[in-house]
Amino acid sequence: MTHRLAAVLLLLAGFAAGALTQATLDAQATAGRVFELRTYTAPDGKLADLHARFRNHTLRIFEKHGMTNVVYFSPMDAPASQNQLVYLLAHKSREAAKASWSAFAADPEWKKVSSESQANGPILTKVDSLYLTPTDYSPMK
């Protein structure tokens, strides 16, 4: 496990323990969800464009296709702080994640947003995705 991934998971554990009510945790425990940790790396000078696309469009379109936005992070330390966005999505299942990503990729609104956001060149150079399941002792499930 990379130090970055370990730091993100520790932050999520703290977030889950401090920000969620017991009722929310109980509901999540029966949901059987899977999580997807994604890290996007932008070319030099394009991170603000990537943040703008997420802020103005992507989160809403994710929700439209059944993905749950859990949390979005900006790394604190260079060099990652200068070109990375790290976020966590929740899906009903691994199969639901696949269906959601397929529908998202085919969405005409997303295609337009993606094209417009890259009018001055690509805003992504690398995408890392890691699917996760909560442990039996995890406060967030």
- The C-alpha atoms of residue 76 and residue 89 are separated, in whole angstroms, by 20
Q: Where are the alpha helices (DSSP H) in 30-107?
A: 47-53, 59-64, 94-106
Whether residue 56 has pLDDT greater than 80? yes
- What's the one-letter identity of residue 84? Q
20 part of a folded domain: yes
For residue 38, the enclosing domain spans 3-132
59 part of a folded domain: yes
- The C-alpha atoms of residue 58 and residue 105 are separated, in whole angstroms, by 11
pTM: 0.78
- The C-alpha atoms of residue 47 and residue 49 are separated, in whole angstroms, by 5
93 part of a folded domain: yes
100 part of a folded domain: yes
Number of domains in the chain: 1
139 part of a folded domain: no
For the domain that residue 84 is a member of, what is the CATH number? Answer: 3.30.70.100
Whether residue 22 has pLDDT greater than 50? no
Provide the 3-class DSSP secondary structure of residue 136.
coil
